[in-house]
């Protein structure tokens, strides 16, 4: 290839990149200054490369003006640590039975491992993130969800001030899904539930839930039944009608909670897709399933 042809090819590739940036401009303008809550599971923090790419995308969102809050769980890491210490994880309706020892291990994993890992990946690009949990500033006040579950929390109140103050100071809060009761006892909170409650309390523009499937299905297992867009009423009908796959129930419940709290839209995305969050926010096609509140698609 001649030098002229190589130069021409490089120019074309550079122009294509510039075109992509210009296509994203209307979405940057629309969402700049708006709050976005992103929920991710512990699987992301388990893979160094995935965590690096994902958190870099969040930094980009922050740098173009969005106020980003990351809420996370750590189920795989908790189960792994329990196994290493000879404890057999037990689940009821998808929720981890959490006795005092399991709660201690859960706090160790979420606060000492997963939260620090995600904060570290974000801060590799500058002093952007601060880690906290629902215990800090009594962000998540809760009580026992069910006696048979032990220290599994049901959120009774959200005080978003610890998060809003970090946002006002220019930081990205990274929130571990642990809460507390009025007596100082800590509780394990489902991360989907925590993210939905937090999004509502923050009056966020979007709640983005990353999962390991392509989106919401009318008939799980039937690829043709993937739902691209649905409104709040339609999602509530699916939830109450019993047609949803068991694993999707807490995610849909959290979305209903968030939209009832005034969040404009929620998105269920396949976290295995590289740059999934950017594709959803900055392209007209989007990916996954969009759930619109406030009565419109």
CATH code, 72: 3.40.1160.10
Parent domain of 35: 30-292
**Residue 25 domain-assigned (yes or no):** no
Q: What's the rounded Cα separation, in Å, for the pair 140 and 152? A: 13
Q: Is 47 a catalytic residue?
A: no
**Residue 23 domain-assigned (yes or no):** no
**Residue 123 domain-assigned (yes or no):** yes
Active-site residue identified among 192, 257, 261, 293:
192
- Residue 297 has a pLDDT of 42
Q: Is 286 a catalytic residue?
A: no
- Residue 296 has a pLDDT of 44
Q: What angle do CA 217, 35, 162 make, to 5 degrees?
A: 115
**Residue 5 domain-assigned (yes or no):** no
Q: Is 192 a catalytic residue?
A: yes
**Residue 177 domain-assigned (yes or no):** yes
Q: How many residues does the chain have?
A: 297
129-133 vs 206-211, strand pairing mode = unpaired
DSSP 85: T
- Residue 11 has a pLDDT of 66
- Residue 16 has a pLDDT of 73
**Residue 297 domain-assigned (yes or no):** no
**Residue 24 domain-assigned (yes or no):** no
Q: Is 75 a catalytic residue?
A: yes
Active-site residue identified among 41, 73, 74, 75:
75
pTM of the model: 0.91
Q: Is 39 a catalytic residue?
A: yes
**Residue 264 domain-assigned (yes or no):** yes
Phi, psi of 179, rounded to the nearest 5 degrees: -130, -175
- Residue 295 has a pLDDT of 47
Residues 6+ apart with CB under 8 A from 277: 38, 54, 57, 58, 61, 208, 210, 269
Domains contained in the chain, number: 1
> For the segment 41-90, what is each residue's pLDDT rounded down to a tens digit?
888 888 889 999 999 999 999 999 999 999 999 999 999 999 999 999 98
Q: Which residues of the chain have pLDDT under 70?
A: 1-7, 10-11, 17, 221, 294-297
216-217 vs 206-211, strand pairing mode = unpaired
């Amino acid at each position: 290839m001649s030098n002229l042809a190589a130069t021409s090819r490089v120019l074309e590739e550079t122009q294509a990149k510039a075109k992509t940036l210009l296509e994203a401009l209307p979405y940057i303008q629309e969402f700049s200054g708006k709050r976005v809550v992103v929920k991710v599971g512990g699987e992301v923090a388990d893979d160094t490369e995935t965590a690096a790419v994902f958190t870099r995308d969040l930094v980009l969102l922050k740098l173009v003006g969005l106020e980003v809050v990351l809420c996370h769980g750590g189920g795989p890491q908790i189960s792994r640590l329990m196994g290493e210490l000879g404890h057999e994880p037990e689940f009821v309706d998808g929720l981890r039975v959490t006795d005092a020892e399991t709660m201690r291990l859960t706090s160790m994993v979420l606060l000492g491992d997963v939260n620090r890992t995600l904060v570290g990946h974000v801060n590799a690009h500058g002093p952007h993130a601060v880690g906290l949990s629902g215990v800090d500033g009594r962000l998540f006040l809760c009580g026992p969800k069910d006696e048979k579950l032990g220290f599994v929390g049901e959120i009774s109140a959200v005080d978003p001030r610890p998060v809003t103050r970090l946002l006002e100071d220019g930081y990205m809060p990274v929130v571990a899904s642990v809460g507390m009761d009025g007596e100082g006892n800590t509780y394990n909170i489902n991360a989907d539930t925590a993210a939905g409650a937090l999004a509502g309390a923050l009056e966020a523009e979007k709640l983005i839930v990353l999962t390991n499937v392509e989106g919401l299905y009318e008939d799980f297992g039937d690829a043709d039944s993937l739902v691209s867009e649905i409104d709040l009423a339609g999602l509530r009908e699916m939830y109450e009608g019993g047609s949803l796959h068991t694993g999707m129930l807490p995610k849909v419940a959290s979305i209903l909670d968030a939209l009832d709290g005034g969040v404009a839209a929620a998105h269920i995305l396949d976290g295995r897709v590289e740059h999934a969050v950017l594709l959803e926010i900055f392209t007209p096609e989007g990916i996954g399933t969009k759930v619109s509140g406030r009565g419109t698609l």
